[in-house]
Amino acid sequence: MRWTMPPDRVPEAWFNVVPRLAQPIEPALHPGTRQPAGPQDLAPLFPMALILQEVSTDPWIDIPGPVLDILRLWRPTPLIRARRLEQALDTPARIYYKDESVSPAGSHKPNTAVPQAYYNREEGIKRIATETGAGQWGSALAFSCALFGLKCKVYMVRASYQQKPYRRLMMETWGGEVVASPVDQPDSPGSLGMAISDAVRDAGSREDTHYSLGSVLNHVLLHQTVIGLEAKEQLQLAGEEKPDLVIGCCGGGSNLGGLALPFVPDEGVELLAVEPTSCATLTTGKFEYDFGDTAGLTPLLSMYTLGHDFVPPSIHAGGLRYHGDAPIISNLVHTGRMRASAYNQTAVFEAAIQWARTQGTIPAPETAHAIKATIDAALQAREEGKEKVILFGYSGHGLLDLQAYDDFLTGKLAGS
Amino acid sequence: MRWTMPPDRVPEAWFNVVPRLAQPIEPALHPGTRQPAGPQDLAPLFPMALILQEVSTDPWIDIPGPVLDILRLWRPTPLIRARRLEQALDTPARIYYKDESVSPAGSHKPNTAVPQAYYNREEGIKRIATETGAGQWGSALAFSCALFGLKCKVYMVRASYQQKPYRRLMMETWGGEVVASPVDQPDSPGSLGMAISDAVRDAGSREDTHYSLGSVLNHVLLHQTVIGLEAKEQLQLAGEEKPDLVIGCCGGGSNLGGLALPFVPDEGVELLAVEPTSCATLTTGKFEYDFGDTAGLTPLLSMYTLGHDFVPPSIHAGGLRYHGDAPIISNLVHTGRMRASAYNQTAVFEAAIQWARTQGTIPAPETAHAIKATIDAALQAREEGKEKVILFGYSGHGLLDLQAYDDFLTGKLAGS
């Protein structure tokens, strides 16, 4: 069963969780002085509108009309009840998922790529540089730049550049320019931290160019809150007062934050972050200030981190391979408002196959982490005989990740 | 702008155009006797429910509840107004498209794969054999068999099997078994006609197995009419009395038929089939009885055909490479109710890129034929200063066809 809404029900303001946090969020620090970074420190990289959103304590921030016009190409996204999975699990839980895979780029990422491209164009910027790991973020930004007439340069982690030609072709179809990163070490497989350094260097060296980040920062999570705001309204349409449990996979935190943040003030709604055991930032990392990139060019953020020089093992859920986590997500976990759990790759793909053969769609490996946690929660509800309402984020489709499924089905997948 | 409808508005009956045709449709002939084929002739291949639908003259046929339950996983599909394309073309035309790419398999094909799997299971069949060219049909049937607990064997044209590993992996993710065809000529690149022969032989040789066809036949086009029925209702929601022009790409005819057939009785609605110049069945073929496959195992159908031994050149729109056409579509073209036009591959990909960079989504190469014809019609409306309402079928996404885009962008595409 699907709950759809007409396009005029796309939220017209973003939900800012910052003024609603139990403990205030620590400010970002300048990488040189280690003093709180001011707007002028960030101005070479970001348009002022985004810098102001990054530090805003307004409870709601209006979404500009030209951004809404583009979001309405695919929003509101459907909320779907996974009845066939419920039946297969014989659970009294009611399982709903918010389907962000229907966007042109195939994930939630365009929710922030569109406003970022818009604000940059409004400030006269002609070109945006960014990094991409698995390719989801680069695809979303290339798509958004095409629609606003901006040039887009994507530094793609070399391992992905070589293993995922389809993601690169997708960006090029939208007119993006894609190069393998690190650009100065052609033998290195690269990492997200290294690619961020490449993109920041590019943006810092050109007047016409800004930098754009697809996760972690406050303004990115802010833009993603359309997901949770829509889901809240759609759950009402489905006859549910509230979810008991909200689940999202977590790499940098933008997918999880987008779905979960609007539920932060709601009593009795449990929030769960799911990460891979091979890059278990929230469950095994330290809560401290760290750089966002490998080279130490970015401001220092207060977050859970495995260390900015941590290189996670190569897993198929490339979007979850990040050494840090969004300060907002880290704050929620640190203060106990959100729980976190980790799963290994084999368990995650078993869940993905079960999903594909019951619900019919093929999820991204990242999304499959949330599916695995959902299945576990639904089975626990069966044990306890409880009618639990579970909402999880279906962050993206796995159509460009089919090689990962082949590796799993033919026994070539590493377990961790 | 998108027009969505709640899941309870999925049509509950299929629209049968056969009793509404200006001239009756000629019966299929037995390949041996060349006499009209009776139900018992088809029983080794198809369940009786589908055979009866194949020859039915009932104006409406009820959709079974278990089929509706699965169609509702993604239906009703959205009707979307392509405003950004309209603006780019500076046309007074209003362009709408019906988006079938949102299905789990990424095209309109599951609309018939689901009922075909259902009726086979109801008759006690345990296994279905079929062919696939580009892989869209095989994916849809593997998906549908997974949901009904049937085994699925797919004979995939060898050229596609080798060039499109992602499509094969998609079928395997749903549990399908895929082999390259022709099975007895390992050096042949294969063709759709050869793969049909392989699948028909398989089904004919096993008691537990039936055959399934993804296009051409009357019952297949019947199942696809949910597309046009929904679109009609959604156009009303959008404030349009009727479309002036309905456009669909045409290989075997199921996508085009699904969208266009419900408009056949409507005066003032022009219908247009779009095909590739390299396999221009409707625009250059003969209207006569011919076999559906290469080996001459299938019944003879009254249709436009290039000859059952015609091997079309290899183009990226693999779903349009078929020597014949649906008898219903052929009848409509022959009697003048529907027009046909043909475009070459380069013009089609130019249109696809224009679409991707204005509307934001990446269409299947087949779908891009309809987009090209839509752009031409919208430009003609500008010339004539006419407010035309154009509806076209967005039959599938191009996410597993990105190699074709690369070939086009790097100048490696053959022109025809």
User: What's the Rg (C-alpha) of chain B?
Assistant: 20
Distance (Å) from the C-alpha of residue B118 to the closest C-alpha of chain A?
15
Q: Quick one: closest CA in B to A68, which residue?
A: B1
B88 CB neighbours in chain A (<8 A) are none
pLDDT at A266 over 80: yes
Three-state secondary structure call for residue A326: coil
* Amino acid, single-letter form, for residue B170: M
Q: In this structure, what token pair is assigned to residue B240?
A: 């349009």
Closest CA to A303 of A193, A216, A219, A220: A216
- How far apart (Å, rounded) are the C-alpha atoms in residues A313 and A289? 23
Question: pLDDT for A13-48, tens place per residue?
Answer: 999 999 999 999 999 999 999 999 989 989 999 999
Cβ–Cβ gap B84/A175 under 8 Å: no
Question: pLDDT for A291-305, tens place per residue?
Answer: 998 888 889 999 999
pLDDT of residue A61: 98
The band of A311, judged by pLDDT with boundaries at 50, 70 and 90, is confident
Q: Which of B172, B358, B361 sits opposite A409 (nearest CB)?
A: B172
Q: In this structure, what token pair is assigned to residue B281?
A: 């069945």
Question: pLDDT for A194-211, tens place per residue?
Answer: 899 999 999 999 999 999
**What percent of chain A shows pLDDT beyond 70?**
99
**A2-11, A285-294, B374-383: least confidently modelled range:** A2-11
A238 by Cβ neighbours in 10 Å (0-12 / 13-18 / 19+) ranks as middle
Closest CA to B398 of B155, B133, B135, B189: B135
Q: Which of B171, B357, B361, B401 to mutate to test the interface with A (most CBs of A within 10 A)?
A: B357
Q: Which of B5, B73, B405 sits opposite A169 (nearest CB)?
A: B405
pLDDT of residue A123: 96
- How far apart (Å, rounded) are the C-alpha atoms in residues A133 and A198? 13
Q: Which of A174, A360, A409 sits opposite B104 (nearest CB)?
A: A360
Q: Which residue has the tokens 């190469």?
A: B365
Q: Quick one: closest CA in A to B361, which residue?
A: A104
pLDDT of residue B318: 82
Three-state secondary structure call for residue A148: helix
Q: Provide residues of B within 8 Å CB-CB of chain A.
A: 1-7, 70, 72-74, 80, 84, 102, 104, 106, 143, 146-147, 165-166, 169-170, 172-175, 353, 356-362, 399-400, 402-403, 405-406, 409
pLDDT of residue B415: 59
The band of A3, judged by pLDDT with boundaries at 50, 70 and 90, is confident
Cβ-contact A55, A217 below 8 angstroms:
no
Q: Provide residues of A within 8 Å CB-CB of chain B.
A: 1-7, 70, 72-74, 80, 84, 102, 104, 106, 143, 146-147, 165-166, 169-170, 172-175, 353, 356-362, 399-400, 402-403, 405-406, 409
Question: pLDDT for A91-127, tens place per residue?
Answer: 999 999 999 999 999 999 999 999 999 999 999 999 9
Cβ–Cβ gap A173/B399 under 8 Å: no
pLDDT of residue A234: 94
Closest CA to B234 of B79, B30, B13, B11: B79
A409 CB neighbours in chain B (<8 A) are 172-173
Vertex B99 angle, CA B95 and B101, to 5°: 140
Cβ–Cβ gap A4/B1 under 8 Å: no
Q: Which of A95, A362, A412 to mutate to test the interface with B (most CBs of B within 10 A)?
A: A362
A166 CB neighbours in chain B (<8 A) are 166, 399-400, 402-403
The band of A376, judged by pLDDT with boundaries at 50, 70 and 90, is very high
pLDDT of residue B395: 98
For chain B, which residues score pLDDT lower than 70?
1, 415-416
Q: Which residues are registered as beta bridge partners of B126? A: none
ipTM over 0.85: yes
Distance (Å) from the C-alpha of residue B38 to the closest C-alpha of chain A?
36
Q: Quick one: closest CA in A to B404, which residue?
A: A169
pLDDT of residue A312: 83
Cβ-contact B349, B250 below 8 angstroms:
no
Q: In this structure, what token pair is assigned to residue B307?
A: 């000859």
Q: Which residues of A293-305 are buried (b: 16+ CB within 10 A; e: fewer)?
A: bbbebbbbbbbbb
Q: Does a cis peptide bond (omega within 30 degrees of 0) precede residue A92?
A: no
Considering the entire predicted model, what is its pTM? Answer: 0.95
pLDDT at A181 over 80: yes
Domains and CATH numbers, chain B: 67-107+220-409 (3.40.50.1100)
B230 CB neighbours in chain A (<8 A) are none
pLDDT at A6 over 80: no
B356 CB neighbours in chain A (<8 A) are 146, 173-174
Closest CA to A223 of A152, A119, A321: A119
Residue B158 φ then ψ, to 5°: -55, -40
Q: What is the SS3 string spanning chain B?
A: CEECCCHHHCCCEEECCHHHCCCCCCCCECCCCCCECCHHHHCCCCCHHHHHHHCCCCCEEECCHHHHHHHCCCCCCCEEECHHHHHHHCCCCEEEEEEHHHCCCCECCHHHHHHHHHHHHHCCCCEEEEEECCCHHHHHHHHHHHHHCCEEEEEEEHHHHHHCHHHHHHHHHCCCEEEEECCCCCCCCCCHHHHHHHHHHHHHCCCCEEECCCCCCHHHHHHHCHHHHHHHHHHHHCCCCCCCEEEEECCCCHHHHHHHHHHCCCCCCEEEEEEEHHHCHHHHCEEEEEECCCCCCCCEEEEEECCCCCCCCCCCCHHHCCCCCCHHHHHHHHCCCEEEEEECHHHHHHHHHHHHHHCCCCECHHHHHHHHHHHHHHHHHHHHCCCCEEEEEECEECCCCHHHHHHHHCCCCCCC
B241 by Cβ neighbours in 10 Å (0-12 / 13-18 / 19+) ranks as exposed
pLDDT of residue A318: 82
Residue B119 φ then ψ, to 5°: -65, -35
Give the residue-averaged pLDDT of A181-187: 95
Q: In this structure, what token pair is assigned to residue B47?
A: 């369940």
Contacts 24+ apart (CB under 8 A), A110-113: A110/A74, A110/A140, A110/A143, A110/A144, A111/A71, A111/A223, A111/A224, A111/A226, A111/A227, A111/A258, A112/A140, A112/A214, A112/A219, A112/A220, A112/A223, A112/A224, A112/A254, A113/A137, A113/A140, A113/A141, A113/A143, A113/A144, A113/A212, A113/A214
Cβ–Cβ gap A175/B357 under 8 Å: yes
pLDDT of residue B245: 98
Distance (Å) from the C-alpha of residue A207 to the closest C-alpha of chain B?
25
